[in-house]
Structure 1
Amino acid sequence: MSYRIGSGVDFHQLEEGRDLWIGGVKIPHHKGAVGHSDADVLLHAICDAMLGALCLGDIGKHFPNTDDRFRNIDSKILLKETYALIAARGYEIVNIDSTVCLEEPKIMKHAPQMQEAIASILNIGQEDVSIKATTTETMGFAGREEGLFAYASILLKK
């Protein structure tokens, strides 16, 4: 059996009056992420982890921010299309481990919904999707609530 490991990271600025999407779930908050798509940092990091595991480039290669087809697109669609690339090569996901870094809002109460959204798209169990959250202890752009970022690691098997 062939195993591949991938990692991904994504960053987005926060801005007043925008929707905040994390892990495929709309999170109530007065700020939201800025991006060409819905700017879901967690789903973007997971996409990059999948692509990286199979040396397929990154999310920008497959869904460029210069292409209007992807303007304001729901990142769950990007996740589904990325998963199709992995499945077409005969791979399936063993598990995902991820961390979202932001000062506010506190998101762990939404983690079960995020796990459900991600697992249903990727045909894995919710118990195979780890979502953690941390602050940066008020340091840096995330600590000043100017932005947020997410990391994801993935194990694939053929």
Structure 2
Amino acid sequence: MLIGQGFDAHRFAPERRLILGGLEIPHSLGLIAHSDGDVVIHALCDALLGAAGLGDIGHHFPDTDAAYAGIDSRILLRQVMTSLHERGLAVHNADLTIIAQQPKLAPHIPAMRELLAADLGCPVTRVNVKATTMEHMGFTGRGEGIAAAAAVLLTEPESSS
């Protein structure tokens, strides 16, 4: 078994869509980023890559590469999963925490779990997404942005010899 953890944070900006866990969330602000700014998937990709010893999301998808400008982060997640599958690795489970004062995310969590489980190739029961606030402390508490943390457990198939 291989364990990985990831973290990401982005600032809010007007006239941007808010994408979290692959889902567009209705909100007056979106997140500034080279890609779509999905901090949930970015943290998840870092956790997956870390567990496999493959570096981080910035190494694989640099923000200096125009090919990734505005890209849907689910595409990046699927590419990470392809790399893991090529190495014989599978996701056993993933646990994600979104840190945001606003918007309220509880109504959107079931749909996020479904999307993420599909991309991870595991049952939805093995993908946990939760949201918390910082009780108005720090940059997320002041409503300046959103952060996310992820932990994953990867498995290797049992040797048949």
Shift of 1:94: 0.3
Structure 1: state its 5+ residue gaps: none
Q: Find 1:55's aligned residue among 37, 50, 53.
A: 53
Q: Name the aligned partner's letter for residue 37 of structure 1.
A: S
Deviations 1:60-81 (A, max 9, x none): 0000000000000000000000
Count how many residue pairs are aligned between Structure 1 and Structure 2.
Answer: 156
Query: Stretches of 4+ moved more than 3 A in 1?
Result: none
Give 2:73's aligned residue: 75
Shift of 1:16: 1.6
Give 1:44's aligned residue: 42
- Kindly report the root-mean-square deviation, in angstroms, between the aligned alpha carbons of the 2 structures: 0.5
Q: Find 1:22's aligned residue among 11, 20, 23.
A: 20
Structure 2: state its 5+ residue gaps: 157-161
TM-score, normalized by length of structure 2? Answer: 0.96
Deviations 1:36-64 (A, max 9, x none): 00000000000000000011100000000
Of 139-148 and 64-73, the range deviating more from structure 2: 139-148
Structure-to-structure mapping, 1:70-149, within 5 angstroms = 70-149=68-147
TM-score, normalized by length of structure 1? Answer: 0.97
Identity %: 46
Structure 2 Cα separation of the partners of residues 13 and 69 of structure 1: 22
Structure 1 Cα separation of the partners of residues 92 and 10 of structure 2: 27
Structure 2 Cα separation of the partners of residues 48 and 25 of structure 1: 19
